[in-house]
Every structure is written in C-alpha cells, then in structure tokens.
Chain A
C-alpha cells in the first residue's frame, strides 16, 4: 500500500507532466467543490436558527466563505468534456454526501446533540484532511487563477477549522470523551478514505 507521501508525489508528478489540464482541473474542482458544498450544507441550518450563539459569527463567516470557494472554483476551472470524469467524481464523493445525509436523520444537528457533534467532526475532517497544495508542482504559475484559488482555499481552511476545533474540544456536550473521540475518528476515516482514492485518481 502506498504511503500518503507517495500518493501526493505521484499526483504531483502527473500534474507536472501534464500541467493543470482541463481533466485535472475538473477532477480537483469536482472533489474539492463537493467538500466545500458539504461543509456549507452542514453549516446552513445555523443561518435559520433564531438563537445567535457566541460561535455564530464564525460559523456564519465560514458558511459564506465555503459558498465563495465553491463558486470561485467553478469560475476558474477549465472544464473537461470527458463525461467519465464527472461520473467518477460523483462515485468518489458519494460517501461524503452519504455521511452528511446520515447526520440529517432522524432529528438532525439542530435537534440532536450527537448529530450536531458529528456534523462538526465531519466539517473538521473536510477542512483538516483535504489538502491539495502538495500536489502543486514546484514551478507552477503562481498567477494562474486555478493555482491561486487552490492555495487560497487551503490557507483559509487553516483559519476556518479553528471554529470546529474550539467547538469539538471545548463546547459543553453531554457526550463523554470516548464517544466524542469515536465520532471524530469515524468522520476522519470517512474523509481520509475518499481523499486517498482521490489522490490516486489524480496520479493516474
């Protein structure tokens, strides 16, 4: 089994050889766009809640930032005409949408403490584990809008994840530590599994 570093290196080598082609840009945007959209979908219900908590300004900012990134990627991408890429991206990201969907039932994060914690853990994993700047080749054009967008999204993710970190670690919850750890690990594994396959796909 390849290590994470080997997978990154293969993906970077492929991009270095082919450049940020329409196929590669499309692959990246479909997967990263899915992660930003899922996190936005997780955060969206807080916009409708009547109560405004201390965390709300940060959640609100993150929600709109994720929408910005999803639309930014869509705008700067040179889209591929290869329909197989779209189908594969849907297949790859389906488990993440599935994870989001499971959080919605039966009561959803607004009504259920465990679902709320799981939603935060999924957001944390998406922001923390989906990291693409190591696939950018050494001599990539720093003024390329696609490259600029990737770098900007990743840097901003490092700031935005602070909200999930503080809430996961410090927010009052009736869940005991072992249950919280189990939830966090489960969501992280789900995201890691998708992301590793995604890196392999990029390296093909």
Chain B
C-alpha cells in the first residue's frame, strides 16, 4: 500500500478501482486498519466504484503522533487524502470511531460528500457510553493493550463468531497487537476528553445519510443511533439483524449489500431520506434487501403495534416442531 504525506503525517492508504468512477471511502474503527476493508474494496470495484481505505492517523502503519491528536485532525487528514487522490467528492462510510470521524468530516467538509454511512457509532457520549469509554481507557492504561483486545472481542462479536474463530483469534490478536501502539490508541481515546457533542451540528449535514446499528450492539446501543436519526435531516436508520458492534467484520456480505444498495440509490436519485427505520434482510442476496421496521425500534423486547409485549408461553407447553405465541 502506498503512503501519502498529509499535513506532515505519513498516511497509509489503498485506492482500488478505475479513476473517474464514483468513490467510496472507508474509515476504520479503533484498533482496526485499512486491510479490514479489502474484501469490500474488491467487490465494490467489481460493481463500478473506486474505493479508498486508509489507516487512520494513530493506527496501523500510518503515523502515530506521541503528543496527541485532536478529533478534528482526522477530518483534516481525510480531506487532505482526498486531495492526494484527486477526488472532489466521495461516499463515506465509517464504523465506530471511524463513524464519529465521518460525522465530523460531514460537518466540516459536507460539500465533498455524496453520501454518509455511519455504522455502530455515536454523535455524543451518552452517560452509558462515557462510562464504558472510561473502563476501556483504564483497561488500556492500567492493564495494557492485550487486555483491551480481550475486552473488545466479546463486546464486538457474537458468541457464534467467537466459537467459529476460536483457533484464529490468537493470531488476530497478535496481528492487532503488532499493528497498534498503546500510546497511540491512548491518544485517540484522549481526544474524546475535549470532544464536543456533534448532535447539535448534525442538522448541518445535508447529504444522504444511512445510520446502521446492530440488533445486539450493546457497545453503541440503539439510543446512540436514534440521536443521529432524530437530528440528521436526510437519513434512514437501518437495523442489522442479529448483529453486534463489529458487523462489518462479522457479516461483511450483508453489510456490503446494504452499503451498495445505499450508494446506488443515492447515485441513481432514488434515495429517500425520510427518517424511517428499516431492518436489513439477513441474507446478502435477499430481495428486497431491507424492509420497514414496524413496532417500537427502541425496544429490545418484541412489542406489538398496540405496545403490548408479546407473551411467550412456557417452553414445556410448546409441542415439538410447533411454536406458539400469545399476544
């Protein structure tokens, strides 16, 4: 992967696909890097897009400033990188920390965005998120990077993914450990000390915005995404079935399909940012790719339209092969 000098920082990036095609840019989350978007890049390039992925400042093989990074620096770096690859406009997708950077970029450089996809992210630190962030910070500084990695895996991934990848996880952790530096991750976390909530400025974002939230994401739960849905003027909220925080890693095909349908609808003019809530189909080739969410999307319990919780009968009362529910 090439490196670019952006504002005095060395930034590792990869640009895939033919020049002149619509550009999709990916912003990674904490402890991640550009390599995790490789499969997305290959498939989107096959579907007529140019794809830009980069190691965010302080991560992967990009520069890791010791003296600190302001959150706003990331938006400036991305703008500089777009200049470097001679891109005036881009679709921008960011997950978790990268989602915050994407929101901040949209506020500061909205004229350069064709669309915005914010995944598993937040516009402000809710009290719960602030406390979780404090725990992660203390874990990193008092117990070290391996502890943070050990904590993030079960927070980000499902039990089934953890079970299926049990053999690979030590190697993945080692790779993550080599690619990240404690002091650099600490700097990224400390950039939130002076973090001003972006929520009051979300109305400034005019481009189409897709907010994506995993059904079981307890790291950045529904309330974080609902704040964005209520304050972005041209958005939809898409709930990813059975997904945890890092669904871009756990279910890449489904995520890619949703992102592709989104950018395609923006590019062909069929996008409708009406603030509605949708549920992503749980298969990558399903038609339609998403369907409207009925009921209260803020609840974890299944609730009927009338607001009454669904009563589930005792397991012993259910005959084998039959499921029954009382409403």
Contact = CB atoms under 8 A, between A and B. Distances in A.
A159 B65 CA distance: 19
Nearest to B65: A181
Interface string A180-197: 110011001000000000
Given A5-B175, A138-B170, A158 B66 contact: no
Contacts of A158: 141, 143-145, 182
Given A134-B177, A159-B142, A162-B141, A181 B182 contact: no
Nearest to B181: A128
Given A158-B145, A159-B142, A165 B186 contact: yes
A168 B182 contact: no
Contact of B141 (A131, A155, A159, A184): A159
A14 interface: no
The contact size tier of chain B is 20 to 34
Interface in A145-161: 154-155, 158-159, 161
B62 to A, nearest CB: 13
At the interface, is chain B mostly helix, strand, loop or mixed? helix
A128 B174 contact: no
A121 to B, nearest CB: 8
Nearest to A151: B146
A159 B175 CA distance: 21
18 contacts: A4-B61, A4-B178, A5-B179, A121-B66, A124-B66, A124-B183, A133-B146, A134-B174, A134-B177, A134-B178, A138-B170, A155-B143, A158-B182, A159-B141, A162-B141, A177-B67, A184-B67, A185-B66
Contacts of B174: 8, 134
Contact of A161 (B61, B146, B170, B183): B183
A75 interface: no
B275 interface: no
A121 B183 CA distance: 12
Interface of A: 3-5, 8, 121, 124, 128-129, 131, 133-134, 138, 154-155, 158-159, 161-162, 165, 168-169, 177, 180-181, 184-185, 188
Contacts of B186: 165
A91 B98 CA distance: 43
A25 to B, nearest CB: 21
Contacts of A181: 65-67
B183 A165 contact: yes
Interface in B169-222: 170, 174-175, 177-179, 181-183, 186
